Structures are given as structure tokens and as C-alpha cells.
Amino acid sequence: MKQLIQKILYILTLAIFGFGGARAQEATPTPAPTPIIQERKVDDAQKVDDAQNVEPENLQGVPAVAPNYESNERDFPELGRGGVDMVNQRPLTLREAITLALENNKDIEVTRQNVRISEFDVRAANGVYQPRFLAQTFYERSVTPTASFFGGGANGEITQSGLTSNVQLQGSEPRFGGNYQILFNNSRVNSTNLFNTLNPLYTSNLSFQYAQPIFRGRRFDQNRRQIEIAKRNLSLTDTQFRQRSIEIIAGVQRAYWDLTYTLRNLQVQRDGVKDAKDQLEHNRRLVEEGQLAPSDIIASETQVVNFEQNVYAALDEVNRAENNLKNLIAESKSDALWSSSLVPVDPVDLDAPNTTLPEALDAALGNRPELELNEVQRDINQIDQRFFREQTKPQIDLVATYNLAGLAGTPSDGVNPFTSNDTTRERINEVIARLNQTTPTLPPIPPIPPAPTQTVSSNLTGGNFSSITDIFANRYPTFRVGVQINLPFESRTARAQLGRSLVESERIQTQREQLEQMIQVEVRNALQSVRTSEARLRSSAISRENSERQYESEQRKLDAGQSDVYKVLERQTALTTARSNELRTQTELNKSIADLQRATGNSLKANNVEARLRK
């Protein structure tokens, strides 16, 4: 009683003095004392926290976005995919998908075209040994001034016209690097030269020439180098074609199994919706019977809606997986395949290959295209070494020439000043005779012998045919044999190129060792992935079976009143997740098998595919 009286007095005191003091303080406020700032050492992070006051309940400046948002109730859209006719279903096996990809994939087509380009490069490189035919025919007329009597011009000029033709055949010899040339010339010339005894004049000439390298270029030269490199490049592009084919096959396999998983997962999610709706109806009956509270229906309805959302999330995954596969196998953007609904029909329970690590490594080292590419690069490097080593040798060539000439024409009607009679001496003697009549002091010039008469040989008389006949008769041959030497003071360029090719050989060998190690890692990882996927598949299958038993058991407990709705819904969600996980692990196993085939370079053989060009 005493304590109660003390509390009442305390309350009355606060009412009288406390509240009144507060009002007086509001009427006549007293200035607050100036606060004393006490310095204290704080770290930078503490200063930032104090300045921004970043405690969750004290955050400032957060904008209000869509306050009181609630979505309107609406119907679920249909289970369709954009641009896909769900009625037009296209059954598709994995082999059909691989075949379409190899036929229509753009990367494969580009690689195939590269191989064909390399084939033409080989043909072009071999074309250097094909003989080359050159021909030329022209007419020429010239007027040449001459200021000398010995030039042969009667009026201070010489007019000459003629028709000239020449044919040339030249080429290279592929075995020893020799070069040959065959040249035939034929001409007809008309001239006003006083000294020509034949006019018109027909000349013919047939020449054979061969140059054979003795040191540099005899065993190996640039032409043979280009041919060998072109052949290796053909092997290189062919290997690249097979490598790209293996990559495409592995990609199609993964995309095919991804689509298989998403479609089956979609079915699992739809089955989950069906089970959730059945459970909802079952719970409603229990509510009507009084075994469950009406509030338990809300949890079941929420479960149905959540499963329906999972259905559409799975549908989106199907759409993405299907488009990914179509992108690999469709010929173009207008292919009818885009509007079809792909339905994988191959069984998913593939048997994992029973292989050991040494067997897988041996197969990879024997089949991987990357090693073949490295081998081709090494062959090309050896070709370069051979060529540059050849270039360090001295260049000494043996040259032989054999020439045949022919000449014919019509004897000229003009007067040759050197062969005509000398009338000048006779006139001089007449002058001397007249002078001697008055003063006989000058003896006459003795008579000169008669000038020889120039005659033309019968071998030279004739037309163009006679000139050509001289060639075949081997009447005027010319033969020449010699040695041609070309020695630089110091072959720095060739030696530097040879040294570079030797270093390149070391680099290629290092790359091969790196490739072998990388391939070993890929094979180990792929083989382990197969083994792990097998174990996971077994575990996921057991988990799915146990989830089914637990769900059925929990349903029975609910009916007997020994459980609640939330445990049943939890078991139902776990069952759907277990079913999806089992499908995923089976898909991962199939993809691991595809990765192992790619790692060992066995994708083509394992899928019965022969990579060849489409002509």
C-alpha cells in the first residue's frame, strides 16, 4: 500500500512540474550552451559510415520506384514458342543433325572452300613447268638518212620495209631444274641500199638454248619449293577441315542433348503442375472433411502457381536450346527448319565407353588433328630448310646454244659502185692527152684491170621457202657451250634465312610438346568427367526413387493426420527437383561422352562420319 501511494505522488509531481516546465521552456527559450567538440581519432571507414549513416533502417536518398506494385490477375499464355508451329513436329536423330550440320554449317562450308582453293594452288604451282608459247608478227618501214657514200644511199637516204615473225617456246625441267628455250625468227626485207646484192632478202633463224644448274638449284629450287609447300598446304587445309568437322560434331552432340534435356525437363515441370493440382484438390477434400484447416489451401495454391512459373522457365530453356541446335544445322535464315518443332528421338541412355587412360591417350595422339597440323608445319619448315641450304651454294650454270641460220633472196638490179667499170680514169687520161699536145710532160695513167663481176651463189637465190630449207639442211650452224658463274661476296641473306628456318624448327617442336601436354590434360579431364557423370547419374536415380517413396509416404501420413501440408509440399518440390536432376545428369553423361570423343579425335569414327569434299 505504501508503494502504491509513492507511485501516485510521483505521477502527480510529473504532471505539475514536468509538463509545466516544458510549456515555460517553450514560451521563453533559453539559449543552448555552445557544445564542446571533443577530438577523437577514427578511421576513414568509420567517418564514411557516420557521414552517410548507412545502417539499413537509416538509409537516405533511396528513390521510391513503383510503390504499392501489384500485378493484375491474368491467364497464363499458351505453351508455344515464338515462330514455331507446334503442330509441325520434326523428328530428328542425332545422326541426321550431324549430317545437316556438316552439309549446311557455314564454318564447314568455308573450310571446304579453303580446301578447294588449296587444290587450285597445287595446280597453279605445277603450272610453272608447262611450256610457254610466245609469238610475234609485225610490219616495219623505215627511212634512214645517210651522209656517206658507203652508207649505200643513192639520194642521201635508205628506205627499208619488211615483215618479221618470231615464235618462242620456253620452259623449265622439273627434275634437275634446267631451263630451255626454242626460238624461231623469219623476216622479209626490201631495201634501197646500193650495196645489197639480194633484194628482197629472206632470213630465217632457229635457236636452241639450255641452261643447267650445276650447284645451286640442281637438286631443289624455288619452283619445286612452291609445289611442295602447296601440297603441304593442301594437307593442312584438309586437316583443318577434319578438325572443324570434329568440333561441329561435338557442338551438335551437346546441343542435341541439351534440347533433349530441356524438353524432358519441360515435361517434368508439367507433371509437377499436375501433381500439385491433384494435391490441391485432395487437400480441399480434406478441408471439407475437417481434417485440414482452410488456411492450408493457400500453401497448396501457391505451390501450383510456383510450379506453373517453373513450366514457363523450362519453356524458355527449350526455346534457347532449340534455336541453338537450329543455328548449327539450318542451311540459312529462310530454312523451313526454323518454323518446325524439333523432337529428338534418339535414346538418352547411352553406354559410356569402356576405355582406360593409356588407350585414350594413344588414340588422341594418333587422331587429334592439331598434331597433324603441327606435323604439316614441320614438313613445310623442312622444305624451307632444304631450299635455303641450297641457296647457300655457289651458282654455276652450264649453258649450251645451238643456232641454225638460213638466207635467200632475189639478185638486185641496181649498180654496185664497187663492182661497176671505172670511167673516172678514162676522163683523166683524156685531159692529160690534151695537155701533152702543147707540153708533153705528163704520162697517162696506166689502164686498170677490168673490175670483177660480182655473182650471187645459187644457194642464196630463192624465196622464203629456200631460207627455211637452209635451216633443216643444217647449212649454217653455230654451236656454243660455256659456264656461267654468279658468286656473291658473302651469302648473308641465304644464311640468315637458313638460320631462321632452323630456329623455326625448334619452335614447332616446342609447340608440339605443348600440344601433347594440352591433349593429355583434355583426355584426362574428359575421361574423369565420364566417370563422374556415371556416378552422379547413379546417385541421382537413387535420389529420385527415394524422393518418390518419401512423397508417397508423406501423403499417407497427411491422410492419417500424422503430417501437415507443408511437409507434403516440401516432398513434392523435392521430387520434381530430383526428377529434373536425374535428367540433367543423364544429359551431362551424354555430353561427357561427346567431349571424350572429341578429346581422343574419335568423333568422326564414333558417329560413322566420313569427312570429304563435296564437289
Of residues 436 and 100, more confidence is placed in 100
Do residue 254 and residue 381 come from a single domain? yes
Minimum mean pLDDT range among 256-270, 349-363, 406-420: 406-420
Give residue 24's pLDDT: 37
Q: Is position 501 within any domain?
A: yes
What is the reported pTM? 0.67
Residue 33: pLDDT band with limits 50, 70, 90: very low
Q: Is position 316 within any domain?
A: yes
- Give the number of other CB atoms < 10 A from CB of residue 199: 17
Minimum mean pLDDT range among 295-309, 370-384, 500-514: 295-309
**How far apart are the C-alpha atoms of 16 and 31, rounded to whole Å?**
24
Do residue 109 and residue 197 come from a single domain? no
- Give the number of other CB atoms < 10 A from CB of residue 363: 19
**Is pLDDT of 198 > 70?**
yes
Of residues 614 and 588, more confidence is placed in 588
**Is pLDDT of 12 > 50?**
no
| pLDDT tens-digit series, residues 120-136 | 888 888 888 888 999 99
Do residue 533 and residue 479 come from a single domain? no
Q: Is position 192 within any domain?
A: yes
Residue 27: pLDDT band with limits 50, 70, 90: very low
The answer to whether 260 touches 92, Cβ cutoff 8 Å, is: no
Residue 72: pLDDT band with limits 50, 70, 90: low
Do residue 256 and residue 381 come from a single domain? yes
Give residue 168's pLDDT: 93
Q: How many domains does the chain have?
A: 2
With both helix axes pointing from N to C terminus, report the angle between 492-559 and 222-288 in degrees, rounded to the nearest 10.
10
Give residue 32's pLDDT: 42
**What single-letter DSSP state applies at residue 416?**
P
User: What's the N-to-C CA distance of the chain in angstroms?
Assistant: 115
Residue 318: pLDDT band with limits 50, 70, 90: very high
Q: Is 332 helix (H, G, I), strand (E, B) or coil?
A: coil
Percentage of the residues of the chain whose pLDDT score is greater than 70: 80
Q: Which domain holds residue 552?
A: 94-116+224-347+358-391+493-606
Integer angstrom CA distances of residue 509 from 263, 505, 516: 48, 6, 11
Residue 296: pLDDT band with limits 50, 70, 90: confident
Average pLDDT, integer, range 91-103: 90
Do residue 187 and residue 108 come from a single domain? no
Do residue 211 and residue 311 come from a single domain? no
Do residue 275 and residue 291 come from a single domain? yes
Do residue 253 and residue 104 come from a single domain? yes
| pLDDT tens-digit series, residues 415-464 | 555 555 555 566 676 767 776 777 666 676 666 555 555 567 777 788 88
Give residue 60's pLDDT: 63
Residue 564 burial by Cβ neighbours in a 10 Å radius (0-12, 13-18, 19+): middle
Average pLDDT, integer, range 287-296: 84
138 beta partners? 164
Contacts made by residues 282-285, CB under 8 angstroms, sequence distance 24+: 282/555, 283/565
Say how far residue 349 (Cα) sits from the centre of its chain.
Answer: 37
Give residue 44's pLDDT: 54
Do residue 281 and residue 418 come from a single domain? no
Name the average pLDDT for the chain. Answer: 81
**Is pLDDT of 549 > 70?**
yes
Tell me whether strands 395-411 and 476-486 are parallel, antiparallel or unpaired. Answer: antiparallel
Find the CATH number of the domain harbouring 522.
1.20.1600.10
**Is pLDDT of 75 > 70?**
no
Do residue 569 and residue 505 come from a single domain? yes
| pLDDT tens-digit series, residues 276-288 | 898 889 888 888 8
Give residue 21's pLDDT: 40
Minimum mean pLDDT range among 288-297, 400-409, 593-602: 288-297
Do residue 305 and residue 439 come from a single domain? no
Give residue 502's pLDDT: 93
**In degrees rounded to 5, what are phi and psi of residue 456?**
-100, 130
Q: Is position 68 within any domain?
A: no
Give residue 398's pLDDT: 92
Percentage of the residues of the chain whose pLDDT score is greater than 90: 29
Q: Is position 197 within any domain?
A: yes
Q: Is position 3 within any domain?
A: no
Do residue 298 and residue 208 come from a single domain? no
**How far apart are the C-alpha atoms of 222 and 389, rounded to whole Å?**
12
Of residues 93 and 195, more confidence is placed in 93
**Is pLDDT of 23 > 50?**
no
Residue 47: pLDDT band with limits 50, 70, 90: low
Give residue 419's pLDDT: 55
Whose CA is closest to 361, among 603, 601, 609? 601
Give residue 34's pLDDT: 44
Residue 271 neighbours by CB under 8 Å, 6+ apart:
576, 579
Give residue 416's pLDDT: 58
Residue 468: pLDDT band with limits 50, 70, 90: confident
**Is pLDDT of 50 > 60?**
no
**In degrees rounded to 5, what are phi and psi of residue 296?**
-70, -20
Give residue 453's pLDDT: 55
Give residue 481's pLDDT: 93
Q: Is position 35 within any domain?
A: no
Q: Is position 139 within any domain?
A: yes
| pLDDT tens-digit series, residues 341-359 | 999 999 888 888 888 999 9
